[in-house]
Amino acid sequence: MHTVTLGELCFVPMMEKEAIQKRVAELGKELTARYGDKKPLFVSVLSGAFVFAADLIREFDGVCEIAFVKLSSYAGISSTGNVKTILGLEGDLAGRDIIVVEDIVDSGRTLFMFLNMLKQKNPGTICTVSLLVKPDAIEMPVSVDYTGFEIENKFVVGYGLDYNGVGRNLPGIYVLKEE
C-alpha cells in the first residue's frame, strides 16, 4: 500500500484489504449463526457502506434480502450534525429481522436517527453492524452489535468511505496524514 493523495489531502495506509476480508468473513459467520434460517433483511446505509455490504452478504450463508437507504451528515472531513434522508425504506418491515449495515459510526447521529425511523416500522428484531467504529467520537446512545474494527478518532477513506466523493474504490483503508 502507498500514500494516496485525494484533492489537497494526503492519506497513509491503515488496513490492508486482506485484513478487512478476514474480518468481514468472521462477521458473516457470526451473522449466519444467528440469522442463517431467518431470511433477514440487510439494510445498507448508502453511500459508504455499499462495498462492505456487498462483501458481507456474500459471507452470509443463508437466504437473505438487501435494501438500501441513503442518509447524509458529512461535508468534507467533519460531521455536520444534521442528518438528511435522501432515499428512504419502502415496503413492509413488520416482523422482519433487520440487519443495519454501516461503514463507520462516528458521532453516531446517522445510526441513531435511522434506528428511530426503523423502529416506527415495527420490525421483529434490529441489529447493527459497522465495519468501523470510532469509540472516542460517539456522542449518541447507539449500540453497535457487530463491529469490524475500532479505530482512533481520525478521518479515514477507502473500502467505500470517501473524502468529498472520492477514494471509495481503494481496496484498503487509509488515514489522513498528520502534518
CB 142 within 8 A of CB 112: yes
Provide the minimum distance between the beta carbon of 97 and ligand IMP in the complex, in angstroms, as a whole number. 22
Closer residue to Mg ion, CB minimum distance, 32 or 115: 115
- Determine, following the binding rule CB under 5 A, whether residue 106 of this chain makes contact with Mg ion: no
Provide the minimum distance between the beta carbon of 46 and ligand IMP in the complex, in angstroms, as a whole number. 9
- Determine, following the binding rule CB under 5 A, whether residue 48 of this chain makes contact with Mg ion: yes
How many helices (H) does the chain have, and how many strands (E)?
3, 10
Query: Residues 121-160: x/- map of binding to Mg ion (CB under 5 A)?
Result: ----------------------------------------
> What does the DSSP 8-state code read for residue 154?
S
Collapsed DSSP state (helix, strand, coil) of residue 109: helix
Which residues are near ligand IMP by CB under 6 A?
45, 48, 73-74, 79, 102-110, 155-157, 161
Site for Mg ion in 28-47 (CB under 5 A): 45
Residue with cell 459497522: 130
Provide the minimum distance between the beta carbon of 129 and ligand IMP in the complex, in angstroms, as a whole number. 12
Tell me the catalytic residues: 106
Q: CA–CA separation, 164 vs 9, rounded Å?
A: 11
109, interface contact from ligand IMP, Mg ion, none, CB < 5-8 Å by kind: ligand IMP
Residue 109: count other Cβ atoms within 10 Å of its Cβ.
Answer: 20
Closer residue to ligand IMP, CB minimum distance, 92 or 178: 178
Long-range own/partner contacts, residues 14-20 (CB < 8 A, 24 or more apart): 14/151, 14/156, 14/172, 14/173, 14/174, 14/175, 15/149, 15/159, 15/172, 15/173, 16/172, 17/159, 17/171, 17/172, 20/131, 20/148, 20/159, 20/172, 20/173
Provide the minimum distance between the beta carbon of 27 and ligand IMP in the complex, in angstroms, as a whole number. 17
155, interface contact from ligand IMP, Mg ion, none, CB < 5-8 Å by kind: ligand IMP
Binding site for Mg ion (CB under 5 A): 45, 48, 103
